[in-house]
């Protein structure tokens, strides 16, 4: 009995049990596993796009236009004879680059503003920063991106900025909300008592505790970034031809729906799969990182 209680009280086995439970919870977290797997495939396709197809995404073949899917061209060819499969792979790269770039724009502006705003509060926070955030959120996400892309001009870089600006208010709100919660905690008072500067408290003590909701939000933002990039490109304000984009491909396919049905299927399916992957990953991460929902 004494031996058993000794084993129970020893930290090592408890740690092992906790670790095993954690792995078990991870295995049971299907959205995380499936979403993570899909996202990994999309990222690998984006990175190794040129190696995964024998055809170049912009290689025109005038003798092979609008060919149906076959052993040579798995997803058929478009109106210029370009291999649809190669363009889908390259479209994954465009989608990931623009979405990640937009995410970086949103994080670089949103996180520091949310951190400082929540930490100092007061008039500037309540009546200026948060009201600017409210005003930014009044613009529907796609309309803001569309108008900014229109003003800045079409192109990959401007699409990143246009989409990224839409993320800023979301990240400011998330970080600020977390900061307000953290400021109430004792370890912040303790850090103040030992003389830590505001800067140190913000970056060393508070920021790490805002990471959980931020990580979840970044995966969900990737999903909306993919749709926003495709939408802008569909409208002609995203990446410009001949660069492959799922949105541009869908736009071009609409002109050939009577003759080449497949052209309208593959890009939309690619968008849906990528968005599904990031949505599931976000959902799974939320469960995984929140101890109350983990089991």
User: Per CB under 8 A, which region of 45-53, 82-90, 147-155, 187-195 contacts another protein?
Assistant: 147-155
Cis previous bond, 242, omega within 30: yes
Please list every residue from 70 through 129 that binds another protein, using CB under 8 A.
Answer: 127-128
Name the residue among 146, 179, 150, 184 with its Cα closest to residue 163: 146
Nearest CA to 74 out of 59, 91, 86 is that of 86
Contacting residue, 1, 71, 138, 194, with another protein by CB under 8 A: 138
Which one among 69, 112, 213, 268 touches another protein, defined by CB under 8 A?
268
Query: How far is the C-alpha of 239 from the C-alpha of 94, rounded, in Å?
Result: 8
CA 235, CA 5: separation in Å to the nearest integer? 68
Question: Which one of the spans 78-86, 92-100, 108-116, 269-277 is the region binding another protein (CB under 8 A)?
Answer: 269-277
The CB-based long-range contact list for 205-211 (8 Å cut-off, 24+ gap) reads: 206/115, 206/119, 206/178, 206/179, 206/182, 207/111, 207/115, 209/178, 209/182, 210/111, 210/114, 210/115, 210/174, 210/175, 210/178, 210/179, 210/182
- Which of 227, 239, 281, 285 forms a contact with another protein (CB under 8 A)? 227
157-186 mask for another protein (x: CB under 8 A)?
------------------------------
Which of 156, 264, 289, 294 binds another protein (CB under 8 A)? It is 264
- 195 vs 258 by CB, closer to another protein: 258
Binding footprint of another protein on the chain (CB under 8 A): 127-128, 131-132, 134-144, 146-148, 150-153, 223, 227, 230-231, 234-237, 250, 253-254, 257-258, 261, 264-265, 267-268, 271-273, 275-276, 279-280
């Amino acid at each position: 009995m004494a031996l058993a209680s000794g084993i129970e009280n020893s930290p090592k086995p408890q740690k092992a049990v906790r670790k095993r439970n954690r792995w078990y919870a991870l295995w049971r977290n299907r959205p995380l596993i499936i979403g993570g797997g899909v996202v990994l495939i999309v990222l690998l396709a984006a990175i190794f796009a040129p190696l995964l197809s024998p055809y170049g995404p912009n290689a025109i073949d005038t003798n092979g236009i609008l060919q149906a899917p076959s052993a040579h061209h798995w997803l058929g060819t478009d109106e210029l004879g370009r291999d649809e499969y190669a363009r889908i792979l390259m479209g994954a790269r465009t989608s990931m680059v623009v979405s990640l770039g937009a995410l970086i724009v949103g994080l670089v502006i949103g996180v520091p503003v949310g951190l400082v705003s929540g930490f100092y509060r007061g008039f500037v926070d309540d009546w200026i920063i948060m009201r600017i955030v409210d005003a930014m959120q009044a613009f529907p996400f796609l309309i803001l991106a569309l108008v900014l892309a229109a003003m800045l001009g079409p192109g990959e870089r401007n699409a990143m900025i246009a989409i990224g600006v839409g993320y800023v208010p979301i990240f400011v709100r998330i970080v600020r909300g977390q900061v307000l919660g953290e400021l109430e905690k004792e370890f912040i008072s303790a850090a103040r008592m030992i003389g830590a500067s505001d800067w140190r408290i913000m970056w060393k003590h508070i920021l790490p505790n805002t990471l959980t909701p931020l990580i979840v939000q970044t995966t969900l933002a990737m999903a909306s970034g993919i749709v926003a990039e495709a939408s802008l490109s569909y409208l002609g304000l995203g990446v410009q031809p001949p660069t492959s984009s799922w949105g541009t491909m869908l736009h071009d396919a609409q002109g050939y729906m009577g003759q080449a049905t497949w052209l309208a299927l593959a890009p939309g399916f690619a968008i849906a799969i990528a968005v599904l992957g990031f949505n599931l990953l976000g959902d799974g991460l939320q469960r995984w990182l929140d101890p109350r929902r983990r089991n």
